[in-house]
Structure 1
Amino acid sequence: MDLRQLEQFVAVADTRSFSRAAERLFMAQPPLSVAIRKLEDEVGVALFDRGPRGVMLTAAGQAALGAAVRCLASARDVAIAAQAAANGETGTLRVGFIGSLTFSLLPTLIQHFRGDHPQVRLELSESTNEGLLGMIESKAHDVAFVREPTTHPAHLTFMTVADDVFCVAMPAHHPLARQRKVRLKDLRDQDFIGYTPSRVGGLHAAVMHLLHDANLSVKVAQEAVQVQTVVGLVRSGLGIALVPSINAEFMPNDVVFRPIADLPASSRIGIALAYHEQNANPVLPRFVRNIQDTLQLESRRR
């Protein structure tokens, strides 16, 4: 039997009439009668008692009716599920992010998306810029939040989601902590906590570019990969560091953050959403649009 036969059976059962069922199904009555006979032959029992006043379900037909209705509903669910997945309303999205983003922007963006798309499963994982870009290129991740500046492979799309600037992180007892703002020349010959070099750029490249343009030499005492690790080393009294200002309000109280008064415009940093231009995951366009809408909403609130 097929779904068409079940639809015909349910129509006859509902209307108790072959003629009225045929009208509902937009078909002639004789072919409908033949189809029901074939269905009865297939199941091996009579489904209807046929009489001058119409047709009535037999006991077997009554039992079959419930099963037929459920079967048709399940078939509709199959179509609905397939359409929802094709439209990106359901499915899975693999999202990578840099660790320092968990203190600021990421929770807001993820909460908004989950609120609007509760049937989408998000798989989140933390890594470095280099690791994230590699996973986007290999399509092990669908999308990633990466720190800028970074390399931009031609086949990847980058969408800026946050602009930022460097500020100076220092122990609370540091002499520069008494100043409301710090000038770049104040950093000269300071013990410095830097970032581990990466082949894709990132914060190490941005800091080195800034120091070079300012003709500053610093004594790099330690290096670390993540912003929170750098701040932890500052907290330990090992030196000062340049860190993204977006993270400052989420860091320990015994670390002081000061803006840089003469920071050149060319030293701007930020966060970008990166994804492969050939990624066919139908959830991805919905995620990108949702991020854009959330950022616009947050901008209006400010």
Structure 2
Amino acid sequence: MSDLFDTRTMRYLLAVADLGSMTAAAAHLGVAQPALSQALRRVEDALGARLFERSRRGAVLNSTGLAVIDDVRASMALAENAERNAKAIAAGKTGRLHIGFVTHAVYDALPAALKLLHARFPGIQVVLSEMGNADLMQALAEGRIDLAMLHTPVALQGRVRQKLVRRDPLVAVLPAGYALPGDGLATLADLERLGLVWFPEAQLPTLRAGIAGAFSRAGLAMRVVQEANRSLTVLSCVAAGLGASLLPQSAEVLQHRGVRFAPLSDGERLPHFELSVLWQASGRATIASQLADLL
């Protein structure tokens, strides 16, 4: 439709066409009749054609008006639908939220977030993508996801906000048949002996450096015998006897066959395993920022 047909003008046209009277249309719309008549006259003058046949009995669409009224009605419906959608999105009642997450988030942070979304924003369409830490940071920077659940610390890029939602101690993950003393505690020496199944350095560089420092201070070496980029892959490698690992205590809920979890008697120097949510900063509240506030 031409720029002449803004939403106000379309409402005027439809009201006169449906009610067959300028007087009735003005009363229905709550506007003065002269203002209504002038607005429609401006459109007709700009088009170079009359849309209504006017008489004492009212105003009836002529052949030109009949030819365009269906288009006007369709355009008005689209405009009203767009307005409803915009208001619903602004109110957080509808829209789309793309969440990227690491495996660790599956244990409890992601279910908690989905429960909150369903309760607070029932009209939101949620898209879920599991990725590694580095991939999540890139996806957030490029705007491919709205919210990232990942391991921190990380180097923040651009206008990104961060909130820590979980901080777990690290525990040993050992092959199920590995013998431990009566207290059931593992040591860093056990992990050095077996070798570590661990995430690639590029994925969690700060955490890996912190673990290496803890081994060094204990007079031991962090010996990585197998790299794996997902927690479930780490567990599978440990179950296969390829080595041991260190995972957050919350990973025990996985109850993976062939592995056993054990606290460390000398793990006080190990860094904690952090999970945070990150989202792009904005001048207004977004679904991502509102969800982060709730977590």
For normalisation by structure 1, the TM-score amounts to 0.72
For normalisation by structure 2, the TM-score amounts to 0.74
1:126-148 Cα shifts (integer Å, max 9, x gaps): 33222322333344443322113
Of residues 110-119 and 229-238 in structure 1, the stretch that sits farther from structure 2 once superposed is 110-119
Tell me, yes or no, if the aligned pair for 2:92 and 2:121 is still in contact at 8 Å.
no
AA in 2 matched with 1:251: Q
SS in 1 for 2:76: helix
Percent identity, please.
Answer: 24
Question: Aligned residue for 2:185?
Answer: 182
Given the alignment of the two structures, is residue 110 of structure 1 paired with residue 107 of structure 2, yes or no?
no
SS in 2 for 1:290: helix
Given the alignment of the two structures, is residue 289 of structure 1 paired with residue 290 of structure 2, yes or no?
yes
Tell me, yes or no, if the aligned pair for 2:101 and 2:136 is still in contact at 8 Å.
yes
Tell me, yes or no, if the aligned pair for 1:233 and 1:239 is still in contact at 8 Å.
yes
SS in 2 for 1:163: strand
Out of 146, 156, 160, the residue aligned to residue 160 of structure 2 is 156
Of residues 3-12 and 55-64 in structure 1, the stretch that sits farther from structure 2 once superposed is 55-64
Question: Aligned residue for 2:238?
Answer: 234
- C-alpha spacing 1:245/1:50, structure 2 compared with 1 (3 Å): same
Q: CA deviation at 1:183?
A: 4.9
Q: Tell me the distance in 2 between the aligned counterparts of 1:154 and 1:74.
A: 37
Q: CA deviation at 1:175?
A: 0.5
AA in 2 matched with 1:134: Q
AA in 1 matched with 2:166: A
SS in 1 for 2:286: helix
1:258-296 Cα shifts (integer Å, max 9, x gaps): 12244327622210112344x67x7x8322322432x3x
Task: Write the mapping of 1:236-251 to structure 2, written as runs, cut at 5 A.
Answer: 236-251=240-255
Q: Tell me the distance in 1 between the aligned counterparts of 2:143 and 2:35.
A: 53
Given the alignment of the two structures, is residue 98 of structure 1 paired with residue 102 of structure 2, yes or no?
yes
Question: Aligned residue for 1:255?
Answer: 259
Q: Tell me the distance in 1 between the aligned counterparts of 2:215 and 2:135.
A: 26
- Runs (5+) with no aligned partner, structure 2: none
- Runs (5+) with no aligned partner, structure 1: 296-302
Given the alignment of the two structures, is residue 130 of structure 1 paired with residue 106 of structure 2, yes or no?
no
CA RMSD between the two structures: 4.0
Question: Aligned residue for 1:213?
Answer: 217
Question: Aligned residue for 1:166?
Answer: 170
Q: Tell me the distance in 2 between the aligned counterparts of 1:78 and 1:188.
A: 59
Q: Tell me the distance in 2 between the aligned counterparts of 1:211 and 1:154.
A: 34
Given the alignment of the two structures, is residue 194 of structure 1 paired with residue 182 of structure 2, yes or no?
no
Tell me, yes or no, if the aligned pair for 1:96 and 1:132 is still in contact at 8 Å.
yes
Q: Tell me the distance in 2 between the aligned counterparts of 1:153 and 1:290.
A: 21
